[in-house]
Amino acid sequence: MIVNARRGYPDEVSRPRGGLGPEWWREGVLYQVYPRSYQDSNGDGIGDLRGITQRLDHLAGRDDSLGIDGIWISPFFPSPMADFGYDVADYTDVDPRFGTLADFDELLAQAHARGIRIIVDLVPNHTSDQHPWFAESRSSRTNPKRDWYVWADPKPDGSPPNAWRSVFNRVKKEAWTFDATTGQYYLHPFLPQQPDLNWWNPEVRKAFEGILRFWLDRGADGFRIDVAHKTVKPRDIGAGLFGENPRGTRDFTPPADEPELHALLRTWRKLLNEYDDRMTVGECVVLDPDRLVDFYGADNDELHLAFNFHFLRAPWGAQSFRDRTETFERVIPNGAWPDYTLSNHDNPRAVSRYAGGDISRGRRRGRLAAMMLLTLRGTPFIYYGEEIGMADAPIPAKRIVDVAGRDPERTPMQWDASPAAGFTTGDPWLPVNPETATINVEAQRRDPSSMFSLYRRLIAERRASPALRRGSYRTLPAPNDVFAYARELDGERRVVLLNFADRAVPVPIAKLGIPPDGLRIDASTEPPGGHERIGKTIELAPDEGVLLDLDGS
Ligand code: NOJ
Ligand code: CA
């Protein structure tokens, strides 16, 4: 029996200082770092953990920092990099390209000194095919680790056990690969180099509990959980039977609603509860909002946050974002907390999606989206570079390296106007967007009308306002092209008006149903020095958003 000595932070583990309290993951602003692309510290052209440490001042701790509260770092574990780290060969170490465990400890200590939490990316659905577990598993049918992965016999005609398809169908259509040595297929809904673990096996569960504790004991503040919605496959496949997908052949990948999956998430929540202040955010690619919120658990006993990807797919328009917000607000269980995100490493960047062929329009819209992201009720996740309006970069065909062509949204962070963007002294692993000549942190830091200054301003507003951090949400009636809402707490009232039209729109104050007196514009997505526009109406410029204070305090 192991005595639990892990409650709280062990003395030797650094605690976040000057940061938010236990509710940091609800009230804070979170930021995703793609470590290969953030900052290279040794000139090999690949970003690394020391590089992130060097850039922490950009994120928090100084008056001119962005002001975020935590970073999620995409995988930095030893990996053959078939999927750039989402193919893990050792869950409790750091890939030499990214540094060492000592570099991780130093990053954590430096981050905590600035009040920044660190969220580690856990990849439990599959390992790398180079993980020693898989080497053992594939060595023979009787190997003790055989059952750690999902093996199944071919159909009588030799074809794969069922009709499941791989997500990376450019590389391979079937989610199964035949292993000639042992005469069975193994399951891999991603690359053949990413065999799926068998989560019905209690030893796999035990091994991962050890992995969770390894990072928690080191002081990590939480986990982003890769493919959190599909780890546990239907039992008949896990047991090696070769029936069809129980839901018929229209499901092309394993289903995401296995009850045992929710049981697994509950055990992880219990484990995290042994520690202070830790959290999980799951990658749940579940499009039905009612089913997405199942991942919070019926009693708020599963994930702390389930990524809400609905904004990533929302067409531009007030109604589109209003509907998605209202839906999430309606379905989220009591006590559970929403979250929002505009971009990540698997999707085109926000300003490029919104551009419709005109990147300056994309950036104007990006400003509006930033105001929405940072004023809604829910944890905002910012993707690195979003704070300067980074766009997808053009990638010459011969430089494409990702299996699914996600290179344009993964290019090096644009720190300055130099050719390698201040990212590296060597040759960057992906081309730098030539826009870095004008779109970069250094230039934007000095410019009060820049995207960076807007993000900083909005994050500061959020931090200073209990209503924005944790107040209620209420849609307000407004003209068609305007998404309007109030955030309220204990008498503090903030109102946000977002004009999704590319023409000016007057918003009659009477229509909003808010008292006309004491109204003040606190922030606008328009460059500062704006005009006084409050009379019987509030005049919104094209693509403009404003944050209002209702009490004029
Ligand atoms: C989701 C990750 O975000 C993506 O980058 C990766 O390719 C797949 N999961 C497989 O791990
Ligand atoms: Ca490096």
Please indicate, yes or no, whether residues 424 and 383 belong to a single structural domain of this protein.
Answer: yes
What CATH number does the domain containing 224 carry? 3.20.20.80
Query: Is the confidence at residue 101, as pLDDT, over 90?
Result: yes
DSSP state of 110: H
Average pLDDT of the chain to the nearest whole number: 93
Q: Is the pLDDT of residue 553 over 60?
A: no
Among 226, 229, 341, the mutation site with the greatest number of ligand 1 atoms within 8 A of its Cβ is: 226
46 has a pLDDT exceeding 50: yes
Task: Specify the pLDDT at position 14.
Answer: 78
Is residue 517 very low, low, confident or very high in pLDDT (cuts 50, 70, 90)?
confident
Give the CATH number of the domain where residue 540 resides.
2.60.40.1180
Where residue 21 falls among pLDDT bands split at 50, 70, 90?
confident
State the pLDDT confidence band at 251, using cuts at 50, 70 and 90. Answer: low
How would residue 238 be classed by pLDDT, with cut points 50, 70 and 90? very low
Q: Are 142 and 42 part of one and the same domain?
A: no
| Whether residues 482 and 400 fall in one domain | no
- 321 pLDDT above the threshold of 70: yes
Average pLDDT over residues 253-273: 92
| Ligand 1 centroid from CA 210, angstroms | 22
- State which ligand 1 atom lies nearest to the alpha carbon of 227: 9
- Name the active-site residue from 23, 64, 274, 427: 274
Q: Tell whether 120 and 141 lie within a shared domain.
A: no
For residues 50 and 140, state if they share a domain. no
Which amino acid is present at 277? D
Q: Which residues contact 474 (CB under 8 A, 6 or more apart)?
A: 485, 486, 487, 488
The neighbourhood of ligand 2, an ion, using CB within 5 A, equals 40, 42, 44, 46, 48
Residue-wise pLDDT for 380-435, tens only, equals: 999 999 999 999 999 999 999 999 999 999 999 999 999 999 999 999 999 999 99
Residue at which a domain ends, from 403, 436, 462:
462
Closest alpha carbon to 258 in 276, 277, 238: 238
User: Residue 102 in 3-state DSSP?
Assistant: helix
Per-residue CA distances from 455 to 459, 461, 484 (Å): 6, 10, 20
Residue of the CA atom closest to atom 6 of ligand 1: 86
* Residue 458 pLDDT > 70: yes
Q: How many domains does the chain have?
A: 3
In contact, 362 and 353? CB cutoff 8 Å:
yes
Same domain, 177 and 108: no
Same domain, 458 and 535: no
Q: How far is the CA of 12 from the centre of ligand 2 (A)?
A: 28
Q: What is the domain range of residue 104?
A: 3-125+203-462
Residues framing ligand 1 (Cβ under 6 A) = 83, 86, 123, 190, 226-227, 283, 345-346
Tell me, in angstroms, the distance from the centre of ligand 1 to residue 7's CA.
32
Report the side by side order of strands in the sheet with 492-499. 472-476, 482-489, 492-499, 545-549, 520-524
Q: Please identify, by atom number, the ligand 1 atom nearest to the C-alpha of residue 344.
A: 3
Query: In terms of domains, do 263 and 335 share one?
Result: yes
> Catalytic: 274?
yes
* Highest mean pLDDT: which range of 15-29, 150-164, 228-242, 352-366: 352-366
Per-residue pLDDT reduced to its tens digit, 169-204:
888 999 999 999 999 999 999 999 999 999 999 999
Rounded to 5 degrees, φ, ψ at 228 are -65, -15
- CA-nearest residue for atom 2, ligand 1, is 226
Atom of ligand 1 nearest to the CA of 190: 10
Q: The domain spanning residue 181 has which CATH number? A: 3.90.400.10
pLDDT at position 515 is: 82
387 is catalytic: no
| Sign of the C-alpha dihedral computed for residues 208, 212, 214 and 215 taken in this order | positive
Q: Measure 33 CA to ligand 2 centroid, in angstroms.
A: 15
As a whole number of angstroms, the distance between CA 503 and CA 493 comes to: 28
- Count of CB atoms within 10 A of residue 235's CB? 12
